[in-house]
Chain A
Amino acid sequence: MFHIYCPYCEEYREEEEFHPKGQAHLSRPEDPDDCSDEAWGDYLFFRDNPRGIHHEMWVHAQGCRKFFNITRHTVTYEILETYKMGEQPTITAETNTARPAATASSADDRAATEVKGAQGVQA
Chain B
Amino acid sequence: MSDIRQFQTHPEVEIATESPLAYSRQRSGAPAITVSSQVMLRERPFQGHLTLRGGAIVLDEALRHVLGLSLPSQPHGLNHDDSGERSVQWLAPDEWLLIVPGGEEFSLETRLRDALGDAHVSIVDVSGGQTVIDIEGEMAHAVLMKFTHYDVDPTVFPVGKGVTTGFAKTSAILRRSSASRWELVVRRSFADYLYRWLLDAGEEYGIGVER
Q: Are B75 and A16 in contact (CB under 8 A)?
A: no
- Taking CB atoms, residues of chain B closer than 8 Å to A66 are 92-93
A63 at interface by CB-CB < 8 Å: yes
Stretch of B16-24, B25-33, B122-130, B162-170 lying at the A interface: B162-170
| Known A9-B76, A62-B171, A64-B164: A16·B93 in contact at CB below 8 Å | no
A65 within 8 A of B: yes
Q: Does B91 contact A (CB under 8 A)?
A: yes
Residue B193 CB within 8 A of the other chain: no
Query: In whole angstroms, how far apart are the Cα atoms of A85 and B75 in the complex?
Result: 17
CB distance from B57 to the nearest CB of A (A): 17
Among residues 72 to 107 in chain A, which have CB atoms less than 8 Å away from a CB atom of chain B? Answer: none
Chain B nearest Cβ from A82, distance in angstroms: 14
Nearest neighbor of A66 in chain B, beta-carbon distance:
B92
Q: DSSP class of A's interface residues: helix, strand, loop or mixed?
A: loop
Contact indicator per residue, chain B 58-97, by CB within 8 Å of chain A (1) or not (0): 0000000000000000011000000000000001110100
A8 at the interface (CB under 8 A from B): yes
Question: Do A8 and B166 touch across chains, with their CB atoms under 8 A apart?
Answer: no
| Chain B CB within 8 A of A11 CB | yes
Q: How far is the CB of A41 from chain B (nearest CB, A)?
A: 34
Residues of A within 8 A of B92 (CB): 8, 64-66
Give the total number of A-B pairs whose CB atoms are below 8 A apart: 36
Chain B residues contacting A63 (CB-CB under 8 Å) are 163-165
Q: Taking CB as reference atom, which chain B residue is nearest A10?
A: B75
Min C-beta distance of A33 to chain B, whole Å: 29
Q: CA of A80 to CA of B95 in the docked complex: distance in angstroms?
A: 28
The CA-CA distance from A1 to B164 in the complex, in Å, is 19
Known: A9-B76, A14-B150. A64 touches B165 (CB 8 A): no
Complex Cα distance, B178 from A89, in Å, reads 40
- For chain A, residues 45 to 73, give those with C-beta under 8 angstroms from any C-beta of chain B: 62-66
Complex CA distance for A13 and B91, rounded to whole angstroms: 15
Given contacts A14-B150, A64-B93, contact A8 B165 (CB under 8 A): no
A16–B150 CA distance with the chains assembled, in angstroms: 11
Complex interface bits, A14-36 against B, C-beta within 8 A gives 1, otherwise 0 = 10110000000000000000000
**Is B149 part of the contact surface with A, judged by Cβ < 8 Å?**
yes
Interface pair A62/B165, CB less than 8 Å apart: yes
Assembly CA distance A116 to B92 (angstroms): 29
A-contact 0/1 string along B130-152, CB 8 Å cutoff: 00000000000000000001100
Q: Is the CB of B93 within 8 A of A17?
A: no
Chain B's closest residue to A15 (CB) is B149
- Cα–Cα, bound, A64→B164 (Å): 7
Chain B hits for A13, CB < 8 A: 150, 165
Q: List 27 A-B contacts (CB under 8 A).
A: A1-B149, A8-B75, A8-B93, A9-B75, A9-B163, A10-B75, A11-B76, A13-B165, A14-B149, A14-B150, A14-B165, A16-B149, A16-B166, A17-B166, A62-B164, A62-B165, A63-B163, A63-B164, A63-B165, A64-B75, A64-B91, A64-B92, A64-B93, A64-B95, A64-B164, A65-B92, A66-B93
